[in-house]
Amino acid sequence: MQSETFPSHSGAVVSVRGSVVDIRFAEHLPPIHSVLRAGNEGRIVIEVLAQLDAHHVRGIALTPTQGLARGMAVVDTGGPLKVPVGKETLSRMFDVFGNAIDRGVALSEAQWRSVHRAPPSLARRSTQSEIFETGIKIIDVLMPLERGGKAGLFGGAGVGKTVLLTEIINNMVGQHEGVSIFCGIGERCREGEELHREMKEAGVLSNMVMVFGQMNEPPGARFRVGHAALTMAEYFRDDEQRDVLLLIDNIFRFIQAGMEVSGLMGQMPSRLGYQPTMSTELSQLEERIANTADGAITSIQAVYVPADDFTDPAAVHTFSHLSASIVLSRKRASEGLYPAIDPLQSSSKMATPGIVGERHYSLAQEIRRTLAQYTQLKDIIAMLGLEQLSQADRNIVARARRLERFLTQPFLTTEQFTGLKGKLVSLEDALDGCERILRDEFKDYPESALYMIGTVAEVKGKGKVKSKTYSSSPDPALKLESKAEAEGDLKHGVKSQPNAKYAADTHEP
């Protein structure tokens, strides 16, 4: 921990109500965001959030308050919460106070900076829009991410948000010469330990920093851990002029921690019990994530959606800050289509001809149109059967189902669960595969040949079969199998390779 010399300004505890502490100072009144210390060796840390009058402040404890009593001395440290920054932080894991929690050696040369910093001015921000490739087909083709932008991963419990984040870390550290910072807000401790071990085994830990505010910690600590991670990211962007990938899991828990702090401070709740200052608090965090002339902080944030309700105020306010929204679908996860991204609900502001190019834009629009038409035809298939569709509609169904399977992808981080070797696919290969499927080049191949592959070239090795035209076939068995595939009977391939990792974490708040 940073060595600090405390000024002579001290006060006394007046009242303790859970994590809320009122303190009286006779002369000097600490400013907002000052850090106060109390208890044995100053182990109880309190952040000032309000000045009640000329002699009293109200603060929120960032550590458990056991042992804190009325009349106990409190010392003003004379500054805000600080965290270490610099190259020494790479490959390490920290808590909100900047303490190393990976059982490694203590930091000796690191510089310490306040977690409360202003966002970069408009004059410093870059006005260029660039694409940030992830190596994941469905994201790069349909909802490209922006370098220096913010992307949200929206989904309920157990649909694969954390798995998708860890896969993007894996791909980015290997592909870009940047730094990855993982911020776990309200994470389970086992998730942090698993991530640290997996990144070490993958050999990418040397360019990573991890910051955790675990779910057993007080709300004040969980509320500030996002600011701590951003301060570390800003050092690499501004001082070392490197690109930074900031992954936040989970931004909903940041809002939730703010809601708890607001309730403890006695503020009147707003809609659905959220804090009245939610919009401001989220903006103060999000506006610091920006692209400057020196470097960029690209952020991908998992957003837990309570009860899968996208009209929830937390989801709505988060949407407004994002340049790309990746929506995870429980229905697609149940069908075995991983990553379980809903291509019709997901969107990106980058998907315009001026940024991605005319060919990419046209292809993405045609893919969305084909998948949307298939969604409309599903009701007719369910009620009347496939035979009632015209030949043109049957071709659309065949194309859409092949596209859905081609846009699945085996992940490097799930190899041990699926037994499938993970694949990293370039944007050009992904576009080429989609274009060839839309031209019906693979109509003579079974749908399962396109499932969980990397590039479309891998289909050739799976062998051609007799074309399954979805019309009245002389072979009743073939007709039945074709109908079953087109109507979504998952007996034929899709659920034959379940991905246990995606369904592992089903206990989100």
Name the active-site residue from 24, 117, 125, 188. 188
**Dist. CA 191–CA 247, nearest whole Å:** 14
Element spanning 394, H or E: helix 391-406
**Dist. CA 95–CA 97, nearest whole Å:** 6
First to last CA, the chain: 31
**Dist. CA 271–CA 279, nearest whole Å:** 12
Name the active-site residue from 47, 167, 187, 281. 187
Name the active-site residue from 37, 150, 161, 405. 161
Would you call 358 a catalytic residue per the annotation? no
Which residues belong to the annotated binding site for ATP? Answer: 155-162
**Dist. CA 43–CA 63, nearest whole Å:** 8
3-state class of 50 per DSSP?
strand
Q: How many alpha carbons lie under 13 Å from residue 282 in its C-beta half-sphere?
A: 27
**Dist. CA 12–CA 57, nearest whole Å:** 11
3-state class of 206 per DSSP?
helix
Query: Which of 124-138 are b and which e, b meaning 16 or more Cβ less than 10 Å from the residue's Cβ?
Result: eebeebbbbbbbbbb
3-state class of 429 per DSSP?
helix
In the block, tokens 């996860």 appear at: 333
**Dist. CA 97–CA 83, nearest whole Å:** 6
Which residues belong to the annotated binding site? Answer: 155-162
**Dist. CA 233–CA 238, nearest whole Å:** 9
Would you call 24 a catalytic residue per the annotation? no
Would you call 188 a catalytic residue per the annotation? yes
Which residues are known to be catalytic? 161, 187-188
